[in-house]
Structure 1
Amino acid sequence: MSATHLTEKDARAAAALQNTPPTGNPDRRLSAALWCAGVATFALMYAPQGLLTQIGNDASVSPAQASLLVSAATLGLALSVLPWARFSDRVGRPTAMRYAAATAGLLAVAVPWLPTFDALVAGRFVQGVALGGLPALAMTLLHEVAAPARTAALAGSYVAATSLGGLSGRLLVVPVADHLGWRPALAILGGGLAILMTILIALLPAGRARRSPVPSTGILAIHLRDTRLLALFGIGALLVGGMVAVFNYLPFRLEAAPYHLAPTVVSLIFLAYLAGTAGSRAAAWLVGRFGQRTVLVLACTCMAGGTMLSVAGPLVLILLGVAAITAGLFVGHAVASGMVGAHAKTGRAQATALYNVSYYAGSSLFGSVGGFAWASGQWLSVAVLVLVLTALALLLALLPSTTARRVVATESC
């Protein structure tokens, strides 16, 4: 496309690609927009996780059934990311993200007031469908708009924002719920996140459709035959499934004997997400120094070691184990998701959408499977499940096809 055909927003994006500082600093604006998307999406998606014991007692459902409030949202997200990617090809990434943010903001306030547990599960599923347009398109927008030299830092910043969102959503609602009840707590959080979604809508650049010469079904078929991409999809699904199982059922362990911790105290375990924030920010540096495969192996090993620590009795060791699990997940996720976006030269939106499908399907599936593990052998069985998942992810990380050129990861993880 010649310069005479560029819109004002395209000109700004082109200037960014040339490392020319245009008016308004679009990289900084994009970073702020993606930060809002990461925090709001993950705070909204995982906020009920800190309240599962209270909701389970109030609704008279089992721990496995209570966990459906998390799994339903992640399942809705997993099923919606491909439609969101296709929709964004028609209207542009930013426009699609605006629709997603507006819908998710409205649902954030409405869903907590649904009267029955079954209605809540259905509402959370719809909420996940709306949220799917944000993580499905954030990385794609980043690669299309940001200067190449900035993609690694911006991607790490976005993943760090997702960890902060996951932390704040889980941590903030519990003390409010202790005083007002879990429904008002979720509604108050939803109101704050609706404001954040409004800011996101204002910060996103103008969007234009980016049509691919290959039909979307053909692009998906190409990606599904790519062994490197399939391995990366599997790594994301297995690692996040293990971490979600940990956070779904650890509160049930800590609120029971011999710990008898109050829900507000138990919610402090989510401070382990700060380890994930640090890990995702450090991922690009680690890959540049040690290479992709080494960092993926390190992430899997860190999760496995943390899981074994969590089986110990002393509370300090349990907390250290959870921090290691969280750091391992976010390092692995930052590297794997960045490699997907960099490796897919055609149909990048579809490739990142497929990664998100596998990632959130893994979260939904293994988060629920963890309930069966808990019912059969409580925490020891949950730990065994997580170790199996991390071992499978490690095998995928060691496959020769998983590793791309180092320069790709240092620019894109």
Structure 2
Amino acid sequence: MRLFVGLDVSSFDMRVCFLDGEGTKLDTFAVSNDLPGATFLKERLLERVTDQEVDVLKIGLESTSVYSFHPSMFLHHDKDLKRFGAQVFVMNPKQIANFKKSYSDMDKTDEIDAFVIADYLRFGRNQLSVVKESQYMALQQLTRSRYHLVKAMTKEKQHFLQHLSLKCNTFTQEVDSSVFGNAMMELFLEKFSLDEVAEMPLEELAAFLQEKGKNRFDDPACIAAAIQKAMRSSYRLDKVMEDSMDIILGTSIEIIRTFTKQIKEIEKSIKRIMAGLSQTLDSIPGIDPVFTAGIIAEIGQIERFEDESKIAKYAGLYWRKHQSGRFTGETTSLSRNGNVYLRYYLVEAANRVRTQVPEYEAFYQKKYREVPKHQHKRALVLTARKLVRLVDALLRSQQLFTPGKGREAMT
């Protein structure tokens, strides 16, 4: 017996369609998207397969925000369904939508969508997204949350600098941005006026910076002098405007500190989960714990993918061919599909790895010189595609990275 189950999931319910190996519709019904509904679905499935010799039992649903998470995990981990070899697939909605175009006479209804998903499984189309194990799902939620917090903090820092330029328009010109940190935040939280800072004894300001910066400045007197120069040369605001800027800067500083604290807490949880996973990606020079966790979180168990080309396609690191008859397009664009998080981590990691591993730097430079425009972007993406092969090999073999061993051709 070959049974294919399509689920069209929403926040409220799940539309279900059972198909056999010939595409015959065996059953259709709806259940609520909650524990009782999933339990009822499981019981209907067991009724269908009990006392049958099951060759294939595949259950598919689209990756629709958070709505598909609970039913996919419930069905994936159910011990009764596992006895019949049940496999659960969470698929890209774009793949289902493209497949549905072949059914030109179909309307858009939940029942039909469930049928299309089941039929997609029946044809065995590109079934990469087997449900991840719990530890990878937890890691993914943590790394994605960290990603969004970092992006939000970067945006807040830009917001802070914008208003800092209103309070002290020459500050960023005179003071090296690399020293911006806790000491600078404390300085602006004190709500000093420009004149107060400008007239403060240099030794006092230097001591303030050194205390708040926890003695991290090599030359606090030099930094203090640069700050006072900026304060003296900046435009003066009236009292109302200056007070408003102080409130905005203080609020922005507190937000940045909150982001920083929460990012550290998330990183502690990421570290705990990573300690329980067997992996050797962190042996690659340049791939720090952040990139290692991000890549592993998005890939999950490596067995989900047949080979490295499937990982590259999942990340959107592939190029569509443009060919018609004897014509083949010389320029092709990078796919817009794929997992944006995995693509981000791979590209950023590749940029670090190339500075540490000569083989990758040589590959990057070779690709950089091949075209007259978009050199860096193109070369970096191609280097990331090369890195995918190494990531796949290390995750499958669990071996440490060895420079020069198993070198790939620069093609």
Q: TM-score, normalising length from structure 2?
A: 0.25
- Structure with greater Cα Rg: 2
- In terms of fraction of residues, the more strand-rich structure is 2
- In terms of fraction of residues, the more helix-rich structure is 1
Q: TM-score, normalising length from structure 1?
A: 0.25
Which fold has the larger relative contact order, with Cα–Cα distance below 8 Å and residues 6 or more apart in sequence? 1
